[in-house]
Chains A and B, each alone.
Chain A
Amino acid sequence: MVDQEHGVVPGARDVREVLSSDPLFRLSMRRLGNPVMLGAAVFVLVLVMILLGPSTESRFIYTDF
């Protein structure tokens, strides 16, 4: 049954509440709150995307016969 005024199921926990109680999320947020760590994390993400990403560059596929 949905609370018509607020559009939520009574008793359901807010997503922020759930996340903020998760130790891993809290640790990540604490670390990423540090600008150096945030920049490094985005860098690692970019690096992983480039090195592990699928090859989408158009190349000749050698099919001689």
Chain B
Amino acid sequence: MRGLAAAAAVLLALLTCTDALVRAFFPHLERLGANFSGAYLDRELRALAPDRGAVVFLGDSALWGYGVPAGDEAVSLLRRAGCDCHNLAFEGGSPANTYAVLRALFAAGAAPKLVVFNVNQKEFNPADRAYRTLHPAVEPVAAPLLSAGERALLGASQARDLNGRVDRFVARSWALYGLRADLREALYGDVDAVHALQTVLRTATGATARAQADHRATADRFEGTYDLTPLASEPDNVSLVYLGKIGALLAQRHVRAVAILTPTNHALLHDFIDVPVYDKNLRYVTKLLERDGVTVLNDDRAIAAREFFDNDHLTVAGNRAFAARLRSAIGLR
């Protein structure tokens, strides 16, 4: 019995040491990972708290830099040019998610110099998967901060069963477990070892190249992506409601903010979005945000079609052009 107690003590000591090492040495990445965890997001928000000169970027995959390596997306380019920029955008963003991260940012004690977020008209479509769903990593961090009314606007909530509660408790208390998804991504460059191995095999056999060739962005793939109901007649649109809340929260906190109307590939989407209501909706959200003192930068048609590889994701050259446009908006010379 004494032997088992000693073994348990050794195990606990090793786990505690690992926890301390992970907390101290796990890096702060250029941007959130493709598979980031709530524990990592929470860690980044707390790290930002004492930085009063921070410029925080929030939003979706267009700002996150989907399809380009970390370091080549616009926010990283701005950081290398001397901006204290932090990219907290992620794949699967939406106004509801931006608002939730903003609430978590303020709850962590952060008071950034500037908040920059993107507004993407496709996310006002109720069919968009992030329209009324918080990202699974954002939910455990931010959902408890939302009011009952705000939570009611959103769909599925986190598991409240014993398993879910124990999982969240362990993730909060033990960094190695909480950051396991981030650790795996840092180690393997993929969600886990099996997927990393599959990727190597698929690349070696040419399957990846074939899949990419089949996955070319053609206009027909985006039919239904944009729901162009006039937003003026949709006051209950969840994304619109949360966009209003973003502006109101920033005004209440007296934080300077810039909203970017997301660069969009009009050449590709011409048949679907080059209609008067699209621009009318952009003017509507612009007015809504300006009412709360948010500066709106209309980059909707600012980037040439050749700089996109699909509807709203920019190539490396496109990200460079995007970064150049953002420089003056964030006060960088």
Contacts and interface: CB of A to CB of B under 8 A. Distances in A.
Contact of B184 (A33, A55, A60): A55
Given A55-B181, A60-B92, A60-B130, A65 B311 contact: yes
B130 to A, nearest CB: 7
B136 A35 contact: no
Contacts of B68: none
Given A39-B6, A39-B7, A40-B10, A53 B192 contact: yes
Interface stretch (B11-19, B77-85, B280-288, B295-303): B11-19
A6 B15 CA distance: 46
Interface stretch (B51-59, B203-211, B217-225, B319-327): B217-225
B184 A39 contact: no
Contacts of A40: 10-11, 14
Contact of A47 (B4, B5, B18): B18
A33 B275 CA distance: 76
Contacts of B18: 43, 47
Interface residues of B, number: 44
B11 A43 contact: yes
A38 B4 CA distance: 8
Contacts, number: 91
B106 interface: no
The B interface, classified by DSSP as helix, strand, loop or mixed, is helix
Contacts of A59: 35, 136-137, 181, 191
A65 B13 CA distance: 48
A57 B136 contact: yes
A43 B17 CA distance: 11
A35 B6 contact: yes
Contact of A57 (B7, B11, B15, B181): B181
Contacts of B193: 51-52
A8 B137 CA distance: 55
A4 interface: no
A12 interface: no
Interface of A: 33, 35-36, 38-40, 42-43, 46-47, 50-55, 57-60, 62, 64-65
Given A35-B3, A46-B15, 12 more contacts: A35-B10, A38-B3, A38-B7, A38-B10, A39-B6, A40-B11, A46-B11, A51-B184, A54-B194, A55-B35, A57-B37, A62-B61
